[in-house]
Structure 1
Amino acid sequence: MSENNLSSITQFRVKFRECDPLKIVWHGNYLKYFEDAREDFCASHGFSYQDVMKLGYSTPIVKTNCEHKLPLHFGDKFEIETTFKPTAAAKMIFEYKVTKNDRVVCTGETIQVFLDVKGDLVLNNPPFFLERKSKMAIEK
């Protein structure tokens, strides 16, 4: 992690309902895990989804990537390291590393853009986001 990237770690345990007939975590649940980890990261850094919405913006995901390496099973404890990847563009890029017992289970990335209250794409970083990046000591 470079000094301009911020990360957080979120702990999880696989629930029975998250497993498929093969008795492993269904692949679609990894995007849900990413969302939970991303919400945890954003809330801990002062820009939760509710905060962003109160300021008149939404941040839909426009791209996801998920690369599976090892399976998770019911009851497994695992963690996700969520890293904010700085960019000068008006978007948020998050990278994810899912690990269990120090072994990489899955990696991924999501990209979100900003929409205004009318649902139009915002091409410049919103003022609140520039301020937040400054407080987090992110140069880009």
Structure 2
Amino acid sequence: VWHGHYVRYFEDGRESFGQKFGLSYLDFFNNGVVVPVVHIDCDYKRPLRYGESVYVETEYLPTEAAKLQFRYRLTTMSGELVATGASTQVFLGKDDFILQLVNPTFFGEWKQQMGL
């Protein structure tokens, strides 16, 4: 599998996390912000072979700063580690794309609901 797909798997993990925990891209958009990725890391451990299924483990990393941070583990269905990674996203106003230096209100409420 082409190595660039691994970053797409990270995105799939973020989207799944958002759907499961009420923090989807649409939730951000409906609350006036967009959340572009500004940094991503991927450490390749072994190639994923064509036709091989991958499991994406996505972990939200709490921070006081106005940003989203996630950590990822890609494994085969048998549990063999394929890659690890991390990403950082920032908050921009959806209409003006101005960097938001404080957490949006709804995100602060979400963190409180989650006990973070």
Gaps of 5+ in 2: none
Structure 1 residue ranges (4+ consecutive) displaced by more than 4 angstroms after TM superposition: none
1:7-38 residue CA offsets vs partner (Å, 9 max, x unmatched): xxxxxxxxxxxxxxxxxx11111111110111
1:122 and 2:100 correspond? yes
2:55 matched residue in structure 1: 79
Of 92, 109, 125, 2:86 maps to: 109
Identity of aligned residues (%): 44
- TM-score (norm: length of structure 1): 0.79
**Partner SS state of residue 18, structure 2:** helix
Show the counterpart of 1:15.
none
Specify the alignment match of 2:65 in structure 1.
89
Q: Which runs of 5 or more residues in structure 1 are unaligned?
A: 1-24
Choose which of 6, 12, 17 in structure 2 pairs with 1:36: 12
Deviation at 1:73, TM superposition (A): 1.0
Read off the aligned partner of 2:62 and give its amino acid letter. P
Separation in 2, partners of 1:35, 1:70: 19
Q: Distance in 2 between matches of 1:51 and 1:124?
A: 17
Tell me by how many angstroms 1:39 deviates. Answer: 0.3
Higher CA-based Rg: 1
State the number of aligned residues: 114
> Aligned to 1:51, which of 12, 16, 27?
27
